[in-house]
Every structure is written in structure tokens, then in C-alpha cells.
Amino acid sequence: MASIFLISTNTNVEPYPVYPIGMSVIAGSLENAGHKVIQYDMLATGNSLEHLRSALAEAAPDYAGISIRNVDNVDSFTSHTNKYIHKAKLVVDVLKETGIPVIAGGAGFSLLPEEILTYIGADYGIVGEGERKMTHLIARLEQGIPVQQIYGKEEGIPGNEIPVPRWEPELLRYYLNQSGVINVQTKRGCEHRCAYCTYPFLEGHRMRVRPVHEVVDEIEMLVSFGADNIFFTDSVLNDRGGHYLQLAEEIIRREVKISWCGFFQPGPIEHDELAMLKRSGLQAMEVGTDATSDTTLRELHKSFDFNTVMEFNKKCVAQRIPCAHFVIFGGPGETMDTVHEGIKNINSLQNCVVFPFSGIRLHAGTPLFTRAVKEGLIPPDQSLLEPFYYFSPALDREEMNAALIQGFKKRRDRLFPPDEGQQRINIMKKFGFRGILWDQLIKFDDQPADSADKTTTDSTYAG
């Protein structure tokens, strides 16, 4: 059996540090196949290449695998200075000093496998879900059997066969100390068909759910390590089949005491369902509203209109559940008329936080990329290693950004540009706040005044 050195290259801490469960899932599969696995996290070890060299010398592995979570930060204001892929190349340069084969994978890698493999200089690459492909690749390499350089997509692993991450206690302690939030996946795949989204490419359109008892077993194990704040990382938690409601019921039945958050899509939901979610520990929702008018929602292939968004938000407010709406301006169908309509719509949402973004990061294979080519905005062979953003040809980008800044400037709960929102969150971190943090910006109308210390803190970051 082989010794394999796995590395998470992600060092981004915005909005907070995220446990590398992708690496840990691969580790579990490799160990189940009999291999010895070392999990190494660049962030938890201080992002030191010298420390990495020392760890590699001590471990003397047979193979190395690197996980690339993101290519950039998908913010058109700052992404050209936040090229995470460059940091991954530095890691591969160190690995190549050892002469062992280097295997790249992860969500970011899977979006641009050929380009990234060439750029960073790894020997092999794995696209999409890597548990089976990684063990298969290692087996063939051990046997001296010729292998392809890039392992492509395969039919998704059934939900009841999705491996549980091989949680590393030292890494758990690090992330619990740094953010207090640990991420858990309850399903894979996405049943929606948004024009810009890469989730269906990475995980497929077919929803594959994990058994709820298995998910709650995992949560209970994490609680035993001191975790009390869980983020469910599913592409959309509130699936049409109601798996998320079954999960909440199981958490309540077992009396697991946690706070949790996840990604939701606006849609029909009943007050009693929200109440049950809250009893299970629902602390807040991050909502994929995505666009701000019926015109732009339709052009992004969303399955709801803005009235649905307003009704969804209203029901959450009635249950005192904080919501953060993530929206994009400048997408297909956007004009200055829809921009002003969108600002008005967004500002009409009560007791919630909104994270507006400007432009949509393009990825090959998405309907939006095809549209951009047809509109003459980008050539079909354009490299996307450097970020390229879609902006509707019917508007002026600078005029739109100026209108957004003006429209949201008096709202502490409308965080634009995105970097401004991160600055506010960083201030909250300095004051000792832990968790998702943005929920601290929401004050419900019937909420009693907070303590003097909290009031002081709010006034500090409200500016």
C-alpha cells in the first residue's frame, strides 16, 4: 500500500476559515482502500512553504494530492488581485522538488482542468467527485499500468455511498478555534438549472441525498469535539423532495443541540416548516436570490419571481430567522432601468442582509458562457484562467456600479462593494464575534435592545 500526502491549498479566510472536507473525504476513501494518508492544510500550518518542505521530508510519501477549492474570489472589483491558483502553483513547485507524482483535484481545479494542470505543473488531474477516481488512479500507478493524465467526469456516487470525511482532530480544533463553524454536506447534485452555475457540472443535476441518520451521526461526532455551529454546504439545502425537513426532524428527535445555517433558494415554504427548522437549530439562511427583478431572474433561468423572494423573506422575518440574500447586478437582460428597479426591490426587503455583486464570473460550459459568445462579448476559445465577467451589453458597467453605491450607501445591511462587507465582518471578528457574523447586522423590529457592549460594537461597524 502507498503513502499519500494530501494538501488543502486554500488559505482564504473570507468570510471565515472553512474546514477542507473535500480533502478529508478523499482521505477516508484512500484509507478504506488500505493506504496511509497524511492530511496537510496550508492555512492551519501558517501558509509556510518551508513548513511544507519539512513535513514532506518527514513523511517521505509516495504520492501527493492537492485540493484546489477556488480559482479566484469571483468579485469583479478585486478578483484580479486574488488569484488563488497562483498560490497553488507555489505548492506544486515544492512538491516537484521531491520527485513524487502530484495529483490535482478539487472544485476549482475541475472548472479548468487542462489549463490549471498545465499552469501549476501537476502530473495528473481529477475532475469532479474524486473518491473512486483517486483510489483507482493510485492503484494503477502502483501496478505500473498506464493511466490517462486527467480523469474526467463519471456518474455520481449514490447518496448512501458518499464517504464520510476522515475528520482530522487537530484540524477540527484549529477551525473551531478560528471560526467556530464546521461544514457538513447532506447531499450532492443540484436540481436547478441557473444560467451561470457550475454546480450541475461538478455534481450533476440528479440530487443524491445521504441518509439523515448518517448525517446526524456525523453531527453528533462533531459535537463531541466541541462543534456547536454547523454550515450545511449543499448547493441548495431546501430540496424539492423535503430531505432537509427530514434532517431537521432527526436533529430534533435526537435532541442534538446545535446552531446551523445553509444555502436556501426562495420558494414556497410553510410557517410550520420554518418553525420546525428553527427548533432544530436553524440560526440563519444564506439565500440564492441571485437577481433583483423579474426580468433578470427570468434571464438567469430562475424558477421564481421577485414576489416569491419577498414572500419568502416575510415568512422568515415572522419566524425571526435572519436571511442574507446574495444578488448579482449586470447579468443577462440587465439595463439601467432594471438596475434602479432592483435597488428599489432589494431595499424593500425588511430585516435582512444583502450581498450585491457586480457582474458574473464566466465559466465554460454554462448557458451564460454560450450567450456571451453569441453576443460577441468573448471568443469561444477564451482562456478563463484569468477571470472574465459577464456584463449585459445593454448597460454601462461604471454607471451601474455608481448607481449601486449610491443606492445602498445609507444601508449598513446592504454590503456593496463586496470588499466593504468583508471589512465590516473583519471588525466584528476583532470584537470577538464568532460564526457566520453577518446575522449580527440584523435587528428585528420587535427585538429588545441589546446590551451596551453590543450596541457599541454595532455603532462601530455600521458606518
Rounded to a whole number, what is the distance in angstroms from the first to the last CA of the chain?
A: 58
85 compared with 285, residue with greater pLDDT: 285
pLDDT tens string 44-100: 999 999 999 999 999 999 999 999 998 888 889 888 777 788 999 999 999 999 999
Any alpha helices (H) in 268-348, and if so which ranges?
271-279, 294-299, 306-318, 336-348
E strands within 9-158? 36-41, 63-67, 102-105, 124-126, 150-151
The pTM for the full model equals 0.91
What is the pLDDT at residue 428? 67
Span 221-247, average pLDDT: 95
Average pLDDT over residues 273-279: 97
Could you give phi then psi for residue 317, rounded to 5 degrees?
-65, -40
Tell me how long the chain is. 463
**Which range is least confidently modeled, 29-33, 59-63, 159-163, 277-281?**
159-163
* Average pLDDT, integer, range 322-345: 98
pLDDT of residue 278: 97
- Return the C-alpha cell found at 96: 516537484
Q: Which domains does the chain have, with CATH numbers?
A: 3-151 (3.40.50.280), 181-461 (3.80.30.20)
Share of the chain above pLDDT 70, in %: 93
* pLDDT tens per residue, range 119-150: 999 999 999 999 999 999 999 999 999 999 99
**Averaged pLDDT for residues 7-30:** 92
The per-residue pLDDT for range 298-310, each reduced to its tens digit, is: 999 999 999 999 9
- 82 or 243, which is more confident: 243
For residues 455 and 448, which has the higher predicted lDDT (pLDDT)? 448
Task: State the SS3 of 192-207.
Answer: CCCCCCCHHHHHCCCC
Query: Rounded distance, CA 114 to CA 152, Å?
Result: 11
Q: CA neighbours within 13 Å on the CB side: how many for 146? A: 0
CA distance 199 to 188: 9
Pairing state between β 150-151 and 124-126: parallel
Give the pLDDT of residue 206: 86
Partners of 40 in the β-ladder:
7
pLDDT attached to residue 440: 81
Neighbour-count burial for 371-382, b at 16+ CB within 10 Å, e otherwise: bbbeeebbeeee
Q: Name the range with the highest mean pLDDT among 152-156, 353-357, 430-434.
A: 353-357
Nearest to 131 by CA among 190, 192, 198, 208: 208
Q: Are 438 and 353 a contacting pair, CB within 8 Å?
A: yes
Q: Which amino acid is at 395?
A: L
Percentage above 90 pLDDT, the chain: 76
**pLDDT per position as a tens digit, 404-450:** 999 999 898 999 998 876 777 776 666 566 677 788 888 887 654 34
Over residues 263-282, the mean pLDDT reads 96
